[in-house]
Amino acid sequence: MDALLQFIFSGMTVGAVYALVALGFTIIYNASDVVNFAQGEFVMLGGMITVFAHQAGLPLPLAAVLAILATAALGVALNKLAIEPARGAPVVSLIIITIGASILIRGATQLIFDKQLHRFPSFSGDDPIRVMGATILPQSLWVIGGAVAVFVALWLFFTRTLTGKAVLATANNRVAAQLVGINTGWVMTLSFGLSAAIGALAGVLVTPITLVSYDVGVALALKGFAAAMLGGMGNPKGALLGGLLLGLLEALTAGYLSSQYKDAVAFIVILGVLFVMPQGIFGHKSTERV
Amino acid sequence: MMTARGKWTQLAVLALVIALLPLFFPSGYYYRVGALIFVNALSVVGLVILIGYAGQISLGHAGFAGIGAYACALAPEHLGLHPGLAVILGAVVSGIMALLIGRPILRLKGYYLAVATLGFGILVSMVLTNERALTGGPDGMSVEDLGLRALLRDLGWRLSGGEFWYGVSGFVLLIGAWLALNLFDSPTGRAMRALHGSEVAASTVGVDVARQKLRAFVISAVYASVAGSLLALQNGYITPDVAGFMHSIEMVTMAVLGGVGSVLGATLGAAILTLLPQVLTVFAEYEQLVLGAVMIVVMIFLPQGLLPSIARRIRGRGE
């Protein structure tokens, strides 16, 4: 029982990171129908920039804010320089562009910073908290809390603010949104910036636990994508639940079945979901117009 | 559109390039690079059939290359099979795998298809990495020699390893290109291209869409598998990287870079991306940076790929 609880804690922690990556995917996908394979690199940048800004003497909170802002700027640049010029390109081209961007960002990070593993101190110390025979790191609470906070903030943004509603309108029907005067180009820019910032935040939160190096992004992007798909592509609620569920499944697999194959869970889940219910848990069945 | 004459022109160009290129090689090392280009081009020609003809995407074809490669490494050791026959065994296993997973996967479209194939590829590479007892894990395993070179030597034809594999890979690539070009104008090829244009339209004129997609998937899987086998045999050594995600991405990038509808273009794409790391050895740290930049720039400015874009420019000037 204690072991189970322990697995659940670690699963929730990892799952919260997947959820944040999946939320990032969702925002961009809704605004532009682009699946951004560079999403994992935003997480990596959040961690790396914080590490080096902190080493350069900035206090940790300031370093984290700097990392999030810098990554958001990069997200905007990605949209302006690579996605917008390729508007209307087939899916294969867009996949290659975003994968190219992720390779480019990785290559640049490795040149500008280095190839080592890094971490910075946890926000509230490293003394584990005991809960019913299991333990949880204070940093895990930060990660899980961060994911929930981002979700709630996004929900408020999309339902309570005019800008958020403009994003939703663009997601629903770009042409109609343009007709009622929404600047859809600006919505895209906003979405990329927001999505990059959320990714970077995930990186800032999780680095004290999992460490960061230039190449952690690929796996995170793939698993975040699996999480988004599990919950239903384009649905924020699905992204949150899909992420947590995937984290739990991984932790339980590692605990009870095989730690070697824990990384396989995400892909078995993807294939299973796609075969059985391609629309995911919360997705709608889509019909194609001829 | 490509005509029957276009087919023979393309094959002749390819054959001439393969035959004449060694005249410009300053050292034996270039045969190795050439052989590697041809092997990559072979798997990319398979992707031309899948992506260019049938309009489907796969981000997991390295999985099939992995199956082909490890068939050559494992079958001689455990089944006592000759390495040459192991290539065929690998191709058969890849084909059957593609048939089994293709049926449910190919109902998906766009990103969903991309991710499903990606998941398959990653699962294959994970099995190859984790089943240490069988595959040697991430360190890889050695591959038995084909024995053909020794045979040729006994017949009095002395070839270096590089020269031998340059010839073999070039020959197999020519056959692969010939088959792919034949397919283009065949009823099957036409059906594939029709469903690429519009699945609904294709099915109303009687094309069995699911069946043709599956065919393209299986054929391209066999191409990737044979390429993987050749790679294993010529290196004499194999690691799970051959089945890795990055290899799948490289394959698709090569195909799209050169021009995904054209066999020659695919070969050009394979040549460029294979040469890139060789050229950049001095600037090894810049390799990823350059690769990423090339991928983005080509997709934005030459969405049709290099060869079709260049061809259009030349034709445009002639008019």
**In this structure, are residues A265 and A249 in contact, taking their beta carbons and an 8 Å threshold?**
yes
Does B319 touch chain A if contact means CB atoms closer than 8 Å? no
How many residues comprise chain B?
Answer: 319
The reply to whether residue A95 touches residue B114, judged by beta carbons under 8 angstroms, is yes
Judged by a CB distance cut-off of 8 A, whether residue B115 touches chain A is yes
- Taking CA atoms, A285 is separated from A232, A282, A288, B106, B114, in Å, by 10, 10, 10, 18, 19
pLDDT attached to residue A290: 45
**Nearest CB neighbour to B292, from listed A95, A107, A290:** A107
CA distance A39 to A19: 12
pLDDT of B25 reads 81
Residue B112's pLDDT band, with cuts at 50, 70 and 90, is confident
Per-residue pLDDT averaged across B172-186, rounded? Answer: 91
Does residue B317 surpass a pLDDT of 70?
A: no
Domains of chain A: 2-276 (1.10.3470)
The two tokens of residue B253 are: 């990038």
In single-letter form, the type of residue at position B155 comes to L
Q: Is the pLDDT of residue A190 over 60?
A: yes
Measure the CA–CA gap between A21 and A239, rounded to whole angstroms.
8
Q: What is the pLDDT of residue B67?
A: 95
Contact assignment for B300 to A290 by CB distance below 8 Å: no
The verdict on a CB contact (< 8 Å) between B122 and A222 is yes
* pLDDT score for B195: 86
What is the per-residue pLDDT for A168?
86
- The answer to whether the Cβ–Cβ distance between A103 and B288 falls below 8 Å is yes
- Extract the tokens encoding B156: 């009095």
In this structure, the number of other CB atoms found within 10 A of the CB of residue B24 comes to 7
B232/A contact by beta carbon, under 8 A: no
Contact status, residue A35 vs residue A226, Cβ threshold 8 Å: no
- Banded model confidence at residue B1, pLDDT cuts 50, 70, 90: very low
Q: What is the pLDDT of residues B238-291, one digit of tens each?
A: 999 899 888 998 898 888 888 887 888 888 999 988 888 888 777 777 888 888
Burial of B147 from C-beta contacts in 10 A (0-12 / 13-18 / 19+) = exposed
Residue A129, SS3? strand
Model pLDDT for residues A3-16, shown as the tens digit of each residue = 889 999 999 999 99
Q: Residue A245: what pLDDT? A: 93
- Residue the block writes with tokens 């020794």: B150
Is pLDDT of B2 > 70?
no
Compute φ and ψ for B96, nearest 5 degrees: -65, -45
CA distance readout (Å), A88 to A83, B113, B193, B301 = 10, 19, 21, 13
Cβ–Cβ contact A278 with B under 8 A: yes
Pairwise CA distance, residues B137 & A259, whole Å: 15
What pLDDT does A146 receive?
93
Kindly state the DSSP code that residue A118 receives in the 8-state scheme: B
Crossing angle, helix A91-112 and helix B245-258, to 10 degrees? 120
Per-residue pLDDT, B131? 86
Q: What is the pLDDT of residue B224?
A: 96
Mean per-residue pLDDT over chain B, rounded:
86
- 3-state DSSP call for residue A136? strand
Phi then psi dihedrals of residue A212, to 5 deg = -140, 145
pLDDT value of position A23: 93
Beta bridge partners, A134, equal A131
State the pLDDT confidence band at A130, using cuts at 50, 70 and 90: confident
Q: What is the mean pLDDT of residues B95-115?
A: 88
In the three-class reduction of DSSP (H, G, I as helix; E, B as strand; rest coil), residue A148 is classed as helix
Q: What are phi and psi of B302, to 5 degrees?
A: -130, 65
Token pair recorded at residue A184: 């859809």
Q: List pLDDT tens digits, range B192-233.
A: 888 888 888 888 888 888 889 999 999 999 999 999 999 999
Inter-CA distances, B53 with A124, A166, B184, B213, Å: 57, 39, 8, 10
> What DSSP state is assigned to residue B142?
E
B-chain residue closest to A105, CA distance: B289
State which residue of chain B sits closest to A99, comparing Cα positions.
B292
Query: What is the predicted pLDDT for the residue at A51?
Result: 94
Q: Could you give the angle at the alpha carbon of A78 between the alpha carbons of A59 and A161, nearest 5°?
A: 75
Helix (H) or strand (E) holding B241: none
Q: Give tens-digit pLDDT for A245-285.
A: 999 999 999 888 887 888 888 888 888 887 777 666 676 55
The full DSSP string for B105-134 is HTT--HHHHHHHHHHHHHHHHHHHHH-HHH
Residue-wise pLDDT for B64-98, tens only, equals: 999 999 999 998 888 888 888 999 999 999 999 99
Domain boundaries, chain B: 29-246
Give the pLDDT of residue B152: 81
Q: Is the pLDDT of residue B43 over 90?
A: yes
State the average pLDDT for chain A: 88
Mean pLDDT on B160-180: 90
Whether A99 has its CB under 8 Å from any CB of chain B: the answer is: yes
